[in-house]
């Protein structure tokens, strides 16, 4: 029976020129590694001593594993770098701390309105007695006796995608109705994300009338990311409140005929966003079709 040759005996019988790996193949591996690293912009691959004889041939597998790890690392790094370059900067998350909000204000970056939004002073409460409201929480703004918009009011329905601007009058209000968008004013962004079957009714109260002649306390709101041809807004006259009955009519339109933002039968939900420019007091409520007099408070600062 023929005796099996050991590995050492096989090596001894192999001519020396066959024991050595081709020099050109080694150089080709090194050059390929260097080129791949330079193409990815991450520097050359690590230079690893390659075996030159059958005595070190067992290291080839380990070498290949290291090379594969290097390549995977470079690909992951390149992907992360590309993602960072394409990152979109959005409004601050609702959890931004007061310090972060202050820094953002100094940098001119809008802070997203939320329950964590830092107030800028106390909320002014008008001395005019509130006779009828939806609830105690919103009675500082939506109440009778209040101002309203009649059929002669000038409503804006933007027909282009550019950012739009509207006055928020001193002593008065501005009303918005839209399915989605961002309203920015005085360093605060009211972010209104789109959801199926949802419309937003927004009322912003301008700065309190100081009664001083030739001092303009009007503010400018910037509107973006809305649905062109459907969002709608208008300036409201000065007064103590926005009329409860008039605002209820807007909720009826939103949940029945739909106006410009919902279908023929309206949206099943409406979110009411109230904001005071002077104090940065913010509230968001939600109501449902068929029960528009019942509001659920979702957020307030």
pLDDT in tens, 72-90: 555 555 544 544 444 333 3
In angstroms, the CA 146 to CA 189 distance is 26
In angstroms, the CA 94 to CA 112 distance is 6
In angstroms, the CA 163 to CA 287 distance is 29
- pLDDT computed for residue 62 by the predictor: 54
- pLDDT computed for residue 5 by the predictor: 55
- The two three-digit tokens of residue 139, written as one number: 């009675």
- pLDDT computed for residue 83 by the predictor: 46
- pLDDT computed for residue 259 by the predictor: 82
Distance of CA 252 to the CA centre of its chain: 30
Nearest to 219 by CA among 276, 150, 180: 276
- The two three-digit tokens of residue 72, written as one number: 């995977």
Please list the alpha-helical segments (H only) found in 107-220: none
- pLDDT computed for residue 154 by the predictor: 81
**Under 8 Å between Cβ of 221 and 189:** no
In angstroms, the CA 135 to CA 142 distance is 9
Nearest to 275 by CA among 210, 161, 192: 192
Q: Are strands 142-147 and 181-185 parallel, antiparallel or unpaired?
A: unpaired
Give the containing element (helix H, strand E) for 240: none
Q: What is the pTM of this model?
A: 0.67
Residues of the chain whose pLDDT is less than 70?
Answer: 1-108
Please list the alpha-helical segments (H only) found in the chain: 7-13, 16-19, 23-39, 59-85, 98-106, 244-255
In angstroms, the CA 200 to CA 287 distance is 10
Instruction: Report the Cα–Cα distance between both ends of the chain, in Å, rounded.
Output: 92
List b or e across 94-112, with b for residues whose CB sees 16 or more CB atoms inside 10 angstroms: eebeeebbeebbeeeebbb
Q: Which long-range contacts (CB under 8 A, 24 or more apart) does 44-49 make?
A: 45/70, 45/71, 46/70
Nearest to 263 by CA among 179, 192, 193, 154: 179
In angstroms, the CA 267 to CA 160 distance is 24
- The two three-digit tokens of residue 204, written as one number: 């912003």
- pLDDT computed for residue 211 by the predictor: 87
């Amino acid at each position: 029976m023929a005796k099996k040759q050991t590995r050492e005996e096989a090596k001894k019988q192999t001519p020396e020129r066959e024991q050595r790996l081709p020099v050109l193949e080694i150089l080709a591996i090194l050059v390929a590694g260097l080129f791949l690293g330079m193409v990815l912009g991450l520097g050359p691959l690590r230079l690893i001593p390659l075996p030159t004889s059958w005595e070190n041939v067992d290291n080839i597998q380990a070498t290949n594993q290291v090379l594969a790890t290097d390549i995977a690392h470079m690909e992951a790094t390149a992907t992360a770098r590309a993602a960072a370059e394409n990152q979109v900067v959005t409004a601050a998350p609702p959890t931004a701390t007061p310090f972060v909000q202050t820094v953002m204000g100094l940098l001119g970056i809008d802070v997203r309105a939320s329950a964590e939004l830092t107030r800028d002073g106390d909320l002014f409460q008008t001395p005019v007695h509130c006779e009828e409201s939806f609830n105690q929480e919103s009675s500082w703004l939506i109440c009778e006796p209040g101002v309203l918009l009649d059929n002669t009011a000038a409503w804006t329905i933007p027909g282009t995608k550019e950012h739009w601007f509207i006055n928020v009058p001193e002593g008065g209000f501005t009303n918005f109705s839209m399915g989605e968008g961002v309203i920015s004013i005085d360093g605060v962004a009211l972010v209104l994300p789109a959801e199926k079957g949802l419309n937003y009714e927004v009322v912003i109260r301008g700065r309190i009338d100081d009664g001083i002649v030739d001092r303009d306390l009007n503010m400018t709101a910037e509107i973006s990311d809305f649905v062109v041809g459907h969002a709608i807004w208008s300036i409201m006259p000065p007064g103590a409140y926005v009329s409860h009955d008039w605002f209820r009519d807007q909720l009826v339109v939103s949940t029945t005929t739909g106006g410009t933002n919902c279908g023929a039968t309206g949206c099943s939900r409406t979110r009411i966003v109230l904001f005071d420019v002077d104090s940065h007091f913010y509230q968001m409520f939600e109501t449902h079709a068929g029960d528009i007099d019942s509001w659920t408070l979702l957020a307030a600062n």
